[in-house]
Structure 1
Amino acid sequence: MNVMMSIQIIPKPNDHEDVIEYVDEAIRIIDESGLNYRVGPLETTIEGTMSQCLSLIDKMHSKMQDMGSKSTMSQIKIYQSEAHQRITDLTHQYDEKNG
C-alpha cells in the first residue's frame, strides 16, 4: 500500500432528495473493499494501491448513477510515497488530543 487517497463525493440527486443515503452508500462501497479507511466530517481517507483507489472512485460514481443521481462530482487528493505511511502515521498526534 503506497497511496493514501481522500475523497469527497458530491452527488446531485433529484430535487429535495437528501444526499446522505448516497454518501452512506459510497462509504459502504469503501468498507466492502476491505481497505483501511477513516471517515472524516468532509471527506474519507483510504489506504491502498493506486489501482485499488481508482477502482473505488469508479465504483462509487457508478453507484451514484445507478441510484439516480443526476450528476456526481468528487474532490480527490492522492498522496503517493515510497515510504509505507499509514493514516495514523500522519494523524497520531492529533488523534491523542481529540480521542
Structure 2
Amino acid sequence: MSIVNVGFQVLPKTKGDNSYQIVDKAIEVVQKSGVKYEVGPMETVMEGELDVLIDIVKRAQEACITAGASEVMTYIKIHYRPEGVTLDEKIAKYR
C-alpha cells in the first residue's frame, strides 16, 4: 500500500469555551498513534497508510465526544499518489 497524506480538522460542538481543550484531545490521539504528523493552525496533516490514518481520524472524533463535545464536524483531505507522497517533499523547501 502506498504512503498518503491525510489532513483533517475537527470542529467540536460544545457548550462553553472549551473547544481548544477538546481539539487537544484529538491531537493527542494523533501523537500517540506513532505516525508522522504536523499540527498546523487550521488542521493536522498525517503521513502513512490510508486505512491507518482514517482509523486515527475516527478515534480523534471519538476523543472529542469523550472530552465533552455533543457532536463533531470533521473535514478531511487526502493526497494520494500510487508511488507515495511524503510530508517532507512538500515542506522541506520551507524549513
| Alignment TM-score, normalising by the size of structure 2 | 0.90
CA distance in 2, matches of 1:87, 1:70: 32
SS of aligned partner of 2:75: strand
Query: Which contiguous aligned blocks of 4+ residues in structure 1 show a shift greater than 3 angstroms?
Result: none
**Structure 2 gap ranges (5+):** none
Q: How does 1:1-99 map to 2 (within 5 A)?
A: 1-14=2-15, 16-95=16-95
Shift of residue 59, structure 1, vs aligned partner: 0.5
SS of aligned partner of 1:82: coil
**Structure 1 gap ranges (5+):** none
Larger Rg: 1
Count of aligned pairs = 94
| Alignment TM-score, normalising by the size of structure 1 | 0.87
Indicate the percent of aligned positions where both proteins have the same amino acid: 26
CA distance in 2, matches of 1:44, 1:58: 14
Q: Which amino acid aligns with 1:73?
A: M
